[in-house]
Amino acid sequence: MEHCFDIDPMNQWLPCGDKPCVIAGPCSAESEEQVMETARELAKIPMVKVFRAGLWKPRTRPSTFEGVGDAGLDWLIRVKQETGLKITTEVANPVHVEKVLKAGIDMVWLGARTVVNPFSVQEIAEALKGSEIPVMVKNPLNPDLTTWMGALERINRAGIKKMVAIHRGFSFYKHSPYRNDPMWEIPIELKRLCPELPVIVDPSHICGKTDLLHVIAQRAIDLEMNGLMIEVHIRPKDALTDKQQQITPVHLSGLLFGLILRKTSGNAEFQNLLEELRSEIDKIDQQLIDIIAQRMSIVDQIGHYKRENKITILQLKRWNQIFRERIENGEELGLNREFIMKLLEIVHQESIQRQINVMNDND
């Protein structure tokens, strides 16, 4: 498998042992007291390795709290000195980069609003040149893997070899229980394409509220993500930003303690059975591909027949009937309705496209 990036393994610069790395801290640094109280409690939790706090907050409306700015740099340095935790904050422009490098911040991250703009990412990358600071890159607002990978590539090309991708979910127009839908298939695909790149999950921004945090955190661990970034405030109800998704250090400790850390492999008997089952899946997958190929061959024949008889491609009544019947059949077999709908839509789109190609064929 090809590697996408030239990077250093995360365990060389952020040792976490055999447990997921945890980055925790308030959404925003609001006061020195708030920062220090939160940090002291987080330092008591062994899995927490990095303290996070936003200093410059890119808010939708300028009338809301936009962070304490430069003043918070000294507070973070104090956290580092007194607790031993590494410290990180968000940077959104070259000026921020210059200030965090001068102050001695350990790590930085690029937010979702920044990642969507290649010009902003490139400016930050240029400002980072010559430094060895680790950089974390959140996914863009919209579900666009290419944009996410492009931002990571720009940072890597600037000479940054300590990199992490942060999965914080995606804006979703459909009804969802989450603030940002996890769409796990996208970070999974990123890990498949770039196995050397660590991916950590931000359950706080995915959930938008605290009651689903454990579910998302456990799912991240089950999918072999490399860690978690969770927003923690000493007094969440008093937080100036995103109070509804922040938890207390005590809550975080309980959440982490409750995670089930599964083995990546088992004993020989387990492994043999697993390989047998995987082999069966491989056979079935090949059968699926063969069946789809047979279907598309028939679709091509239908396309030629329609062309010869001057019949329109889209037969809406027929498609609605197929759609309804296939969904009912699938649900009777225990398949998820939304999954069947997506599968049928993909197959139908390909079928229409193949018939269009037949219609446009001049041979």
Q: Taking all residues of the chain, what is their mean pLDDT, rounded to a whole number?
A: 92
Res. 4 pLDDT band, cuts 50 70 90 = confident
Q: In the predicted model, is pLDDT for residue 1 greater than 60?
A: no
Distance of CA 260 to the CA centre of its chain: 20
**Would you state the CATH architecture of domain 10-257?**
Alpha-Beta Barrel (3.20)
Residue 70 tokens, joined: 């430069």
DSSP state of 243: G
User: In this predicted model, what pLDDT tens digit does every residue of 162-212 receive, in sequence order?
Assistant: 999 999 999 977 677 899 999 999 999 999 999 999 999 999 999 999 999
Residue-wise DSSP of 93-140 = SHHHHHHHHHHT-SEEEE-HHHHT-HHHHHHHHHHHTT----EEEEPP
Task: Check residue 112 and give its pLDDT.
Answer: 97
Task: Check residue 351 and give its pLDDT.
Answer: 87
User: In this predicted model, what pLDDT tens digit does every residue of 110-145 receive, in sequence order?
Assistant: 999 999 999 999 999 999 999 999 999 999 999 999
Task: Check residue 203 and give its pLDDT.
Answer: 98
Residue-wise DSSP of 10-55 = HHHHS--TTS-EEEEE-SB---HHHHHHHHHHHTTSTTEEEEE-BS
Using CA atoms, how far residue 270 sits from 215, 249, 276, 284, 335, in Å, is 26, 38, 10, 21, 27
Residue 229's SS3 state is strand
Q: In the predicted model, is pLDDT for residue 319 greater than 90?
A: no
Burial (CB count <10 Å: 0-12, 13-18, 19+), residue 262: exposed
In terms of Cα–Cα distance, which of 31, 18, 9, 5 is closest to 239? 31
Which fold would CATH assign to domain 268-360? Chorismate Mutase Domain, subunit A (1.20.59)
Any idea where the domains of the chain sit in the sequence? 10-257, 268-360
DSSP state of 190: H
Q: In the predicted model, is pLDDT for residue 220 greater than 70?
A: yes
User: In this predicted model, what pLDDT tens digit does every residue of 249-297 receive, in sequence order?
Assistant: 999 999 999 999 987 666 667 766 776 788 788 889 889 999 999 999 9
Q: How far apart are CA 299 and CA 148, in angstroms?
A: 36
